[in-house]
Structure 1
């Protein structure tokens, strides 16, 4: 990591520590002097850990390294927020019952052992489903085909490989991509259309997200312009867009900004479901729950992560990664500040301090 950026990350950690120990007013004054700006971070990129960066802060775009502001991105698990929004729309239309067993809609997908898991618990990661099985890759054997891997295949393999006793549904929050695969299949079962078609009809076309799509499982291409991404020296720019409703979408910073703004302003959901976008279950967080700090759950029914800023305020958003891309969007609930970021990690180190620094810097004040 570049020495100045390492110092930036350390300054952020120190600011968080100060904020925990001091009254809010004093903490704000103390952190203001040490917290980096987005430009501070960009000024010291690229480096050995991050080859390129694209940051859209309150609608203004800045980049570092060989990436343009209109670049296409593989958004990874940011896809989950789109998936949850489609499901909540179906709930609003009374085509899905939020608290009904998920097996009511997809009995052949979930084993009977999970007959108490509800749609809500899939949305807020309290289902207790097992950890996902490893996703097959092109080096798994001769004749491997991208299109041969289906959501059902991954679910079957994950249930078959499950060990131990799962937590009771609704008892704890454990971030789990299997939830999104089941939700995507529920959407298809209830609507009679492909998940990609419903995504297009319900979100992409109404919002004019002309640079956003869910590619087919056998389409590894990404439109231009885009970053050329390398991990451990290997070009991974064109790869399988799998995993589908869990993390397969392609978009741009401008489109993600538009989607985030529309979601927060209630343009996609009626009031009852809009409240669920920010509703976090009152359960404990599993010990290895991604991104949750301490014992409290931090993911909402809408698929958003609640992130505490150095001044004590909360931001809401989602992270997402694919090899060569670490992306995300976050905003204050009132949209006073918002950020969409995309980093291109090289695999040479941990870029989490960069992400945290970018989000906190962009949403400060």
Structure 2
């Protein structure tokens, strides 16, 4: 394989802080950089746009009660699925439920979908290594890291404390320029650099840009008219997409139902690596067990002041899309709010 990928310079960023933020992809779910301060607003009640089925409207309103507060200025929530529907907004979220927003690291699931399609086509294997696919990208001293380990965040790559702005190649190289990696496949450590590498794998394997492959394989086939990769978005395949609630619901439903993947690759969405502390599947989905025992699968993401997520039960009884206007003052408080929303959204789900 040639090293043609090493000369690609389509994607650049001038903001060093942006690259540092993407390096912080290992922060806890719900943690964000602080958005620009907003003028105080009078708390607004959640407004249900639709409600039916087994979703409890009172529980949903309670989950959004008290907004805005010190930690979350506003929120949008949309619950759909065979087992009920509900949607609403609260606090300073004055836009429609279907407004577009930066989805941050939820982008990773779109990237994993493209990679798994390539796996299904026999063009890439979960056992292929970065060193085979992208020779020269990582230091020669690094042990082989597989595509499966990148997808499941078990690559062992160190937290990218030395990351610098530039092309995806430059970001990856700077990220591994200091610190020491763990042995691949021995530890679970969420790391956005894994998905920069996967974006490069997509480009090298197909000979086309990541954006072109994403558009042809996912966005256009599913009619995701509100989902796009802005040309100047530094987070790229790791966290650069903009979308809206309905597009995220449609994408998640198609992904889990089999509209995007063949059966073997769809099973990987729910296949967890046998690594201590693993939280992400070979399909890049975060497995979370709620307090009542309900297991949901999905992804959180933060960008441009939005702390967002999309989660669903494996059987698609319910699909939750949310976005919080987070202040960044206390990640734990943001997580508490997300847990309330998820608990209400999946409460009483038919199993």
TM-score bucket of the superposed structures, by smaller chain? 0.7 to 0.9
Deviation digits for residues 287-318 of structure 1 (CA, Å, limit 9, x no counterpart):
xxxxxxxxxx1110111111111211211111
Partner of 1:364: 347
Rounded Cα–Cα distance in structure 2 between residues aligned with 1:150 and 1:60 = 41
Give the CA deviation at 1:41: 2.2
Partner of 1:247: 239
Answering whether residue 248 of structure 2 is matched by residue 256 of structure 1, we say yes
Deviation digits for residues 249-303 of structure 1 (CA, Å, limit 9, x no counterpart):
0000110011011111011100111110111101112xxxxxxxxxxx1110111
The alignment partner of 1:170 has SS state of: coil
The alignment partner of 2:320 has SS state of: strand
Give the CA deviation at 1:135: 5.7
Partner of 1:298: 279
TM-score normalised by L of structure 2: 0.78
Rounded Cα–Cα distance in structure 1 between residues aligned with 2:145 and 2:185 = 8
CA pair 133-343 structure 1, distance change in 2 beyond 3 A:
same
Deviation digits for residues 197-246 of structure 1 (CA, Å, limit 9, x no counterpart):
100000000000000011113xxxxxxxxxxxxxxxxxxxxxxx321110
Q: What runs of 5+ residues in structure 1 fail to find an aligned partner?
A: 1-35, 137-147, 218-240, 286-296
Partner of 2:275: 283
Partner of 1:43: 65
Partner of 2:315: 334
Answering whether residue 63 of structure 2 is matched by residue 82 of structure 1, we say no
Partner of 1:128: 156
The alignment partner of 2:287 has SS state of: strand
Give the CA deviation at 1:131: 1.1
Partner of 1:159: 176
Rounded Cα–Cα distance in structure 2 between residues aligned with 1:206 and 1:307 = 29
Rounded Cα–Cα distance in structure 2 between residues aligned with 1:96 and 1:126 = 18
The alignment partner of 2:141 has SS state of: helix
Partner of 1:61: 87
Give the CA deviation at 1:51: 1.3
Answering whether residue 277 of structure 2 is matched by residue 271 of structure 1, we say no
2:64–2:341 CA contact under 8 A, matched in 1? no
Answering whether residue 101 of structure 2 is matched by residue 73 of structure 1, we say yes
* Residue correspondences, number: 286
What is the alpha-carbon root mean square deviation over aligned residues?
2.0
1:102–1:115 CA contact under 8 A, matched in 2? no
Give the CA deviation at 1:115: 4.4
2:214 corresponds, among 193, 199, 208, to 199
Q: What runs of 5+ residues in structure 2 fail to find an aligned partner?
A: 1-57
Give the CA deviation at 1:325: 0.4
The alignment partner of 2:176 has SS state of: helix
Give the CA deviation at 1:111: 2.1
Rounded Cα–Cα distance in structure 2 between residues aligned with 1:84 and 1:149 = 23
Give the CA deviation at 1:54: 0.5
1:276–1:300 CA contact under 8 A, matched in 2? yes
Partner of 1:209: 224
Q: Which runs of 4+ in 1 moved over 6 A?
A: none
2:301 corresponds, among 306, 320, 333, to 320
TM-score normalised by L of structure 1: 0.75
Rounded Cα–Cα distance in structure 2 between residues aligned with 1:199 and 1:60 = 30
